[in-house]
């Protein structure tokens, strides 16, 4: 059965500490690769076929009738009595199908001090979430653990009203009110932000900034006087601001905010990965933004 084959695949990946499972289907072959600490490793694909790919699309609540449009969704699956949260991304052409499963909670992290190093920056990060207002951005390359860091920090916030806006919701947390964007029903970022601001949140979190729509929603919430956090892909600390400007964010709006930028990338030590953090405070950020206006 396809359910058993998916459990086999996930169990094998978890045993080998793989963060991602890459599935590639063409007329010539089926290729299965695991992303581990050693990079992409090809695996035996004997129990993987296109029926598993279509089952993953169903589990992730993707549009089964849409074939040539890239899609992403999420699902959870119980393996060896543990519930794992996964994101599934599907991409198809006329001749090839490609799917990637990201296992989101492969490592159990209970507090910010377990995220990585240096510890003084992680301590400072925890203090930033005690602010009443401002913008905290988690930046880094794909797969560096930005979302894990943000939600771990949010879980440390006690006695706070926390709302998240996600597309899609990847992991479920009892402590947060999580809202998923649904463009088909008109539940856009703008509509969700408008409603959530009426709920008097202490903290608003946007899952990821991918477009001008999300970036503008982020700035709007921040300017309204709330503490807001989000993640964004960037190559280094300062390129984060170039990305925001590409998303049509006004540099003058940024200069009105109290911003903390957390940049992280993965390092390897003694056969395990950990996140290395850099932190830019508002004073340094405002000085840098001033140079961009000259």
Q: What does pTM read for this prediction? A: 0.87
> Is residue 112 scored above 90 in pLDDT?
no
Centre a 10 Å sphere on the Cβ of residue 19 and count the other Cβ atoms it contains. 19
- pLDDT score for 265: 93
- What would the two tokens of residue 200 be? 């008097």
Asked if the model's pLDDT at residue 294 lies above 90, the reply is no
- pLDDT computed for residue 62 by the predictor: 94
The stretch 7-30 carries a mean pLDDT of: 94
* Higher-scoring residue by pLDDT: 53, 143: 53
Give the C-alpha separation, 180 to 169, whole Å: 6
Q: What percent of the chain has pLDDT above 90? A: 74
pLDDT at 250 over 90: yes
Q: Please say if the pLDDT value at position 287 is more than 90.
A: yes
Q: What is the pLDDT of residue 218?
A: 92
pLDDT score of 262 more than 90: yes
Q: Which pLDDT band, with edges at 50, 70 and 90, does 274 fall under?
A: confident
CA–centroid distance for 246 within its chain: 20
What is the pLDDT, as a whole number, of residue 282? 96
pLDDT at residue number 109: 84
The percent of residues above 70 in pLDDT, for the chain, comes to 100
Q: Output the CA torsion sign for 83, 129, 239, 265.
A: negative
Residue 280's DSSP bridge partners are 261
Average pLDDT, the chain: 92
Comparing CA positions, the residue from 132, 140, 82, 134 lying closest to residue 116 is 140
Q: Where do the structural domains in the chain lie, given as residue ranges? A: 2-103, 112-292
Confidence bin at 176 (pLDDT 50/70/90): very high
pLDDT of residue 134: 95
> What confidence category does residue 166 fall into, taking pLDDT thresholds of 50, 70 and 90?
very high
Who's near 114: CB < 8 A, 6+ residues apart? 152
* Model pLDDT, residue 147: 93
For the 2-103 domain, the top CATH level (class) is alpha beta
Q: Does the pLDDT at position 284 exceed 90? A: yes
The CATH number assigned to the domain with range 112-292 reads: 3.40.50.300
Q: Residue 213, SS3?
A: helix
Angular region, 39: left φ>0, alpha ψ -120 to 50, beta rest: left
């Amino acid at each position: 059965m396809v359910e058993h084959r998916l459990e086999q695949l996930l169990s094998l990946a978890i045993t080998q500490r793989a963060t991602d499972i890459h599935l590639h289907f063409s007329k010539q072959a089926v290729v299965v690769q695991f992303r581990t600490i050693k990079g992409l490793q090809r695996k035996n694909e004997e129990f993987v076929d296109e029926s598993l790919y279509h089952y993953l699309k169903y589990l992730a609540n993707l549009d089964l009738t849409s074939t040539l449009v890239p899609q992403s969704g999420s699902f959870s699956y119980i393996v060896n009595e543990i519930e794992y949260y996964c994101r599934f991304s599907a991409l198809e052409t006329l001749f090839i199908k490609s799917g990637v499963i990201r296992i989101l909670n492969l490592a159990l992290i209970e507090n910010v001090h377990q995220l990585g190093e240096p510890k003084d920056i992680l301590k400072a990060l925890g203090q930033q979430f005690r602010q009443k207002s401002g913008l905290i951005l988690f930046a880094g390359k794909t797969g560096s653990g930005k979302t894990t860091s943000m939600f771990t920090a949010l879980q440390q916030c006690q006695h706070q009203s926390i709302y998240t806006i996600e597309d899609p919701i990847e992991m479920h947390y009892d402590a947060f009110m999580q809202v998923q964007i649904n463009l088909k029903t008109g539940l856009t970022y703008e509509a969700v932000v408008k409603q959530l601001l009426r709920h008097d949140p202490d903290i608003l979190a946007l899952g990821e900034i991918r477009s001008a729509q999300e970036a503008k929603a982020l700035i709007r919430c921040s300017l309204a006087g709330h503490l807001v956090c989000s993640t964004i892909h960037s190559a280094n600390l300062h390129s984060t601001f170039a990305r925001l400007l590409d998303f049509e964010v006004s540099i003058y709006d940024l200069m009105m905010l109290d911003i903390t930028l957390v940049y992280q990338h993965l390092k390897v030590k003694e056969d395990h990965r950990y996140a290395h953090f850099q932190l830019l405070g508002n004073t340094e950020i405002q000085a840098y933004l001033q140079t961009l206006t000259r």
